[in-house]
Amino acid sequence: MTLSDNARVLSDNARIDRYRTRTVAGTPPIDRDDPTVWGEIGTPALADFDDNGYAIIDGLLDPYEVGDVAAEIQRLTSDPDLLLDERVIIERASNRVRSVFDVHRFSTLIGELVRESRIAGLARQVLGSEVYLHQTRVNYMPGFTGTGFYWHSDFETWHAEDGMPAPRAVSLSIALTDNFPFNGSLMVMPGSHRTFVPCQGETPPDHYRDSLREQEVGVPSQEAITDLAGKHGITQFTGRAGSALLFDSNLMHGSSGNITPFPRSNLFLVFNSVENTLLSPYAAPHPRPEYLANRDFTPLV
């Protein structure tokens, strides 16, 4: 069999939809048949990743680095021209910045940071391969008016709308402000990454334009959330600025709003395996823009 034949077979196998979602009728949860850890975990910080679907890394960035990154983010959001860019998402109610995507392209400092072995190396350990950046963003939750993110699995969206074949991707959320239990910090369900929850309802064209502000399609049912929470419980990622949460792409997570005076902001870096590159969407009319689903699969070096 030639190399081209091998590539065709791999592509055909990837098009077998083992995680069917966005159906007209409801579909029962699916037991995940892909590994969580594809490589070898050699550090204590990642020891429980396979069981829980996440790991907390304290002090990934030191205070000086946090200050430098925060200053870069402040510079970007203060640029009036950038506020007109579609990669900047504005809150509907407050008219304030909710997210900025593609930050590694906007900022040389962040672009260099994501390539460091202490950052990308975490993803390589878990995914067992070279990796590339599927997506980068900063999420803001300002004091008093910050709105949350409903329960969801990132992989459900990336599979349905981006064409990611398998949950062989991880996110790294780096706290740029202190994440308290009371200012909208991320909630996760430990162990929920082993269950794929299909969502009901077909994906509308250009769904991303609405979902980035408030998602209605591609969210699990209340019954599914209740069942997962009953089985796995709920915990929160809290920690000082500079701490980080590495979590599996299929981990169920969400956040409540922030009515405290203390803002919360996090840098999100999404790493995908170069052996899990995107195909055409499994359950959407067209692929999302590249700032949401990068199709340059060049490994990070």
Write out pLDDT tens, residues 23-48: 988 899 999 999 999 998 878 889 89
pTM exceeds 0.75, yes or no: yes
The more confidently predicted of residues 214 and 69 is 69
Strand order in the sheet with 187-188: 149-152, 253-255, 187-188, 235-236
User: Over the stretch 54-80, which tens digit does the pLDDT of each residue have?
Assistant: 999 999 999 999 999 999 988 887 888
**How would residue 91 be classed by pLDDT, with cut points 50, 70 and 90?**
low
Distance of CA 180 to the CA centre of its chain: 20
- φ/ψ bin of 199: left (φ > 0), alpha (ψ from -120 to 50), beta (otherwise): beta
How many Å apart are CA 217 and CA 229, to the nearest integer? 21
Tell me the C-alpha distance between 195 and 242, whole Å. Answer: 30
**Where residue 230 falls among pLDDT bands split at 50, 70, 90?**
very high
At residue 50, the 3 state secondary structure works out as helix
Give the span between the Cα atoms of 134 and 289, in whole angstroms. Answer: 11
